[in-house]
Amino acid sequence: MTRARTTTPPPPARIVIQRPSPAVDDGSYPAKRCVGDTVEVSAEIFRDGHALLRAAVRYRPVLSGAWDEVELRPVAGEADRIRWAGSFVVDRAGLWQYEIVAWTDRFGTWRDELQRKLEAGQDHLSGELSEGVVLLREIAGAASSAQNRSTIERALAVADQTALMDADVYAVAEREQTRTGGTTIGPIPLQVDEQRARFSTWYELFPRSWGGLEGVERQLPQLAELGFDVVYLPPIHPIGHTNRKGRNNSPIAEPGDPGSPWSIGDESGGHDAVHADLGTTDDVRSLTRVAAEHGIEIAMDFAVNCSADHPWLRQHPEWFNHRPDGTLKYAENPPKRYQDIYNVNWDCEDWQGLWDALLQVVLHWVDCGVRTFRVDNPHTKPAAFWAWLLEQVHARDHDVVFLSEAFTRRAVMRHLAKIGFNQSYTYFTWKNARWELIEYLTELTTSGEQEYFRPNFFANTPDILHEYLQLGGRPAFEARLILAATLSPSYGIYSGFENCENVPVEPGSEEYLNSEKYEIYHRTLDGQLLPLIGAVNRARRDNPALQRLDNLTFLETENDQLIAYVKRSGSNTIITVVNLDPHHTQEGLAIVPARLGLPPAFAVDDLLTGERFHWHTGRNYVRFDPGVRQAHVNRVESEVE
């Protein structure tokens, strides 16, 4: 009887690869980059013993199928030399992936050991030379070209230590040797978006206060001239009649009150319709087309809210929450009550039909030229729904950008960013003190969030008029504008900001008096802050340093009412100093540390005023008088002799 032969499996891998970067939750979610970015990849790579290692990063767009590869090298300056790094460039939008591979450098190890023995004066190395011959014969047998094979064979013909350790032979052997004892980690996902997913300048307006969609279209040239590249429209759909809200959120509407745009739907249509007073779907197409001609994207609000008059309540009553007595349950967040809005029932039996209907709404507006959506309160809807919806939309058009409006627990905000939202609202509106700003920006830029969480710093919204703006007058608006625009690559303002509108409905409230959410204004672009807004936006557009988040360094000021920071991108360096006190003159220092590598003395141009100043490494005196100067946005121009 013949015993069946068994194959002994190879021993377990001896190389360890750990802590790869960039990676979100160990690769459970994609890190985010933009087209044209250089992706810096690193990992800890080591093994037992003294053998030398080689490593590489393999990368590809997921849909391409073909891998490219770049070698990794130990990071210079690290004593233990276990951190390896390299980089590659992403050149198209979509889902990418990379993996890190490492293997034992057998020939390099042999050559290194022999070299050390020779340097120590050891002789009788014939055994070591025979090992080198065996390795080179193996490599020659698998060489990819006749030239490489010939280089090795010439060395083998001599077979002494000089020939075997020749630099040209070593270079060929490093390229041609078989990768043995290899270990791979990955693939690790990487989401690559267009640049506007990271860098954008938003202006929010209610179309009904500007003469409808045609009126908004007439404002596009001036908005583009001011430097805005996203115009965000709150819901433009029909508004329900039942339980319509009146002025200042009154539960009883007076005749002629237009109602809240977030109470979506009436007998004329729902989420895929346009309010008759604003225009038509063809007007949306015209608006997006003309906006594109001016370098502007139209952002639409996507709010999963339904009025009692929304067609879905008649067509799909199973999609809504019913109390035991048969009445519908309107939206509440006690003690707040939203009598004019009904939430959908995410746990209904026909949840798939509901999901598909909402997807079709988004795709309808994408077909009309809308490529940016501000999503209303996504944290109150299932995260699984958003992951699915964003995946479906991006599979069709990866250029579509989704902004998450979730002011909630940080873990929830982070999770929404991980599952695919391109940008996120933040707590910036409530961070007004120097220590708060430094603490929060340090979290955003160094905690790991910078790999996937793209902040959008709105200085105000229709729902948020912070006490700082209520009490600080124009200097407060100037300070918050400059902070938002220079700290974050994406920021926005809601119309009225340029007019310094700052009256709350009552003390202690962040709601506006006579809020535009419940009545129609008659807006024009003539606010007192427009020249400053234009200057700030030009600075952002002209300076790559202001178009990133991860290049921020705070400076000491020796005055807690002043905040100073540097942003650098290549040779472009911006130093911003802001007076956080809107009421009093403040003076102090902007201390430029030598570690930034700036010249000992240099000129700076203030991009807000056009003035030139001489600065230097070390202590630079600054003074700000509210109403005269609230900030410096200084570009480093040249070295001063």
Q: One-letter amino acid identity for 444? A: L
Beta bridge pairs of residue 490 = 200, 456
Token pair in block for residue 440: 């929060």
Residues 6+ away with beta carbon under 8 Å from 15: 45, 46, 47, 53, 102, 103, 104, 181, 182, 183
| DSSP one-letter string for 605-619 | EETTT--EEEEESEE
CA–CA distance, 460 with 429 (Å, rounded to integer): 7
Residues 6+ away with beta carbon under 8 Å from 305: 262, 263, 264, 331, 341, 342, 343, 376
Token pair in block for residue 408: 């909630």
Pairing of strands 552-555, 562-569: antiparallel
Comparing CA positions, the residue from 224, 206, 227 lying closest to residue 215 is 206
Beta bridge pairs of residue 293 = none
Q: Report the Cα–Cα distance between both ends of the chain, in Å, rounded.
A: 94
CA–CA distance, 538 with 346 (Å, rounded to integer): 44
Beta bridge pairs of residue 72 = 55
CA–CA distance, 302 with 264 (Å, rounded to integer): 10
Residue 405 bears catalytic tag: yes
- Of residues 194, 301, 340, 405, which has the active-site annotation? 405
What count of Cα atoms within 13 Å lies in the side-chain half-sphere of residue 122? 14
CA–CA distance, 492 with 537 (Å, rounded to integer): 11
Cβ atoms 634, 574 nearer than 8 A: yes
- Which phi and psi angles does 34 have, rounded to 5°? -120, 160
Token pair in block for residue 635: 């570009």
CA–CA distance, 202 with 491 (Å, rounded to integer): 6
How many of the other CB atoms lie within 10 Å of CB of 254? 9
Residue 550 bears catalytic tag: no
Long-range pairs for 413-416: beta carbons < 8 A, 24 or more residues apart = 413/379, 413/453, 414/449, 414/452, 414/453, 415/383, 416/378, 416/379, 416/383, 416/386
- Of residues 204, 217, 309, 376, which has the active-site annotation? 376
Task: Supply the residues annotated as catalytic.
Answer: 376, 405
